[in-house]
C-alpha cells in the first residue's frame, strides 16, 4: 500500500508536466504559423510592388521608343532645295538642309555659291523658325537675311564666316545661342533698336545698325 501512495503523486506530476509541455508545444507550433503567414504576406506585397514597378518601366521604355522612332523619321526628311517666293536670281544656287520639329523647319546646313543669302520663310511648306547649330559655319556668305518667322538662332550658327559683313535679324527673334558670330571679324548685326538682337550684339561687342524698313 505504501508503494501505491508514493507512486500516485508521481503519476499526477508527470501527467501535469506532460500536459503543460503539450500546451507549450502547441503554442510554439502556432507561432511559426503566424510568422509564416506574415512572411508570405510580405513576399506577396513585394511581388505586387515589383510587378507594378516593372509595368511602369515598360510604359516608359515604350514611350522612349516612340520618341526615337519619331526622331528617326524626321532625320530621314530629305534635304530641300530652297527657292524664295517668286524665284529670281537671289534664290539661284542656294541649297538648305533642314529638319522638321513640331511642324516647323530648323535649317541645319547651307550650300551655295551666292554672296547674298535670303533664307526663305518656308521650306517644303514648313515655316522656318530656327537656324540650327553651325548651319552656316565656315561658308563664304557676305550678307544673310533671316525671315520674320525665325525665332531662334542656335550655337555657332555663323561661326568662322570670315567674309560675313551683314546679318539681318528679325525683331521677333527670342533667342541667340552662344558664340553665334564668333570668328566673324567684320560682321554688323542689322536689327531693330532695343530689340533682343540688339542687346545680344552689344553683349558680344558686335557692331549694329538699324534695319531699313520695307
- 119 & 50 share domain: no
| C-alpha cell of residue 142 | 557676305
Of the pLDDT bands very low, low, confident and very high (cuts 50, 70, 90), residue 202 is very high
| DSSP reduced 3-state for 87 | coil
The vertex-172 CA angle with 171 and 175, nearest 5°, equals: 105
Asked if the model's pLDDT at residue 1 lies above 60, the reply is no
Residue 81 maps to a domain: no
User: CB 151: neighbour CB atoms within 10 A?
Assistant: 15
> Tell me: the pLDDT tens digits for 168-182?
999 999 999 999 999
Which structural domain, as residue segments, surrounds residue 187?
A: 89-210
- Nearest one of 126, 130, 132, 135 to 146, comparing CA atoms: 130
Lay out the sheet containing 166-168: strands in order across. Answer: 116-118, 143-145, 166-168, 188-191, 207-210
Q: What is the DSSP letter of 79?
A: P
For 1, counting Cβ atoms within 10 Å of its Cβ (0-12 exposed, 13-18 middle, 19+ buried), the class is exposed
The average confidence (pLDDT) of the chain is: 75
Residues paired with residue 145 on neighbouring β-strands, in sequence order: 118, 168
| C-alpha cell of residue 123 | 521650306
Handedness of CA 69, 175, 103, 124 (dihedral sign): negative
> Tell me: the pLDDT tens digits for 3-49?
444 444 444 444 444 445 545 544 545 555 665 666 666 656 656 66
Q: How many domains does the chain have?
A: 2
Choosing from 76, 107, 141, the residue where a domain stops is 76
- What share of residues in the chain are helix, strand, coil (percent, to 5)? 40, 20, 40
- 131 & 58 share domain: no
Handedness of CA 123, 125, 128, 133 (dihedral sign): negative
- 38 & 118 share domain: no
- CATH classification of the domain holding 160: 3.80.10.10
Instruction: Please tell me which residue, 213 or 173, carries the higher pLDDT value.
Output: 173
Amino acid at each position: 500500500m505504501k508503494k501505491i501512495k508514493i507512486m500516485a503523486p508521481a503519476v499526477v506530476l508527470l501527467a501535469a508536466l506532460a500536459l503543460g509541455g503539450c500546451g507549450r508545444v502547441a503554442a510554439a507550433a502556432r507561432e511559426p504559423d503566424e510568422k509564416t503567414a506574415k512572411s508570405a504576406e510580405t513576399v506577396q506585397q513585394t511581388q505586387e510592388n515589383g510587378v507594378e514597378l516593372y509595368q511602369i518601366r515598360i510604359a516608359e521604355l515604350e514611350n522612349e521608343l516612340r520618341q526615337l522612332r519619331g526622331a528617326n523619321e524626321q532625320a530621314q526628311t530629305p534635304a530641300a532645295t530652297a527657292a524664295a517666293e517668286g524665284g529670281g536670281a537671289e534664290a539661284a544656287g542656294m541649297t538648305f538642309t533642314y529638319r522638321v520639329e513640331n511642324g516647323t523647319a530648323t535649317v541645319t546646313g547651307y550650300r551655295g555659291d551666292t554672296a547674298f543669302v535670303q533664307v526663305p520663310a518656308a521650306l517644303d511648306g514648313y515655316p522656318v523658325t530656327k537656324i540650327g547649330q553651325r548651319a552656316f559655319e565656315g561658308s563664304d556668305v557676305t550678307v544673310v537675311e533671316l525671315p520674320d518667322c525665325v525665332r531662334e538662332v542656335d550655337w555657332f550658327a555663323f561661326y568662322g564666316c570670315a567674309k560675313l559683313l551683314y546679318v539681318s535679324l528679325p525683331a521677333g527673334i527670342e533667342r541667340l545661342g552662344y558664340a553665334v558670330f564668333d570668328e566673324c571679324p567684320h560682321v554688323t548685326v542689322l536689327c531693330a533698336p532695343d530689340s533682343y538682337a540688339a542687346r545680344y550684339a552689344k553683349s558680344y561687342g558686335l557692331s549694329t545698325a538699324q534695319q531699313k524698313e520695307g
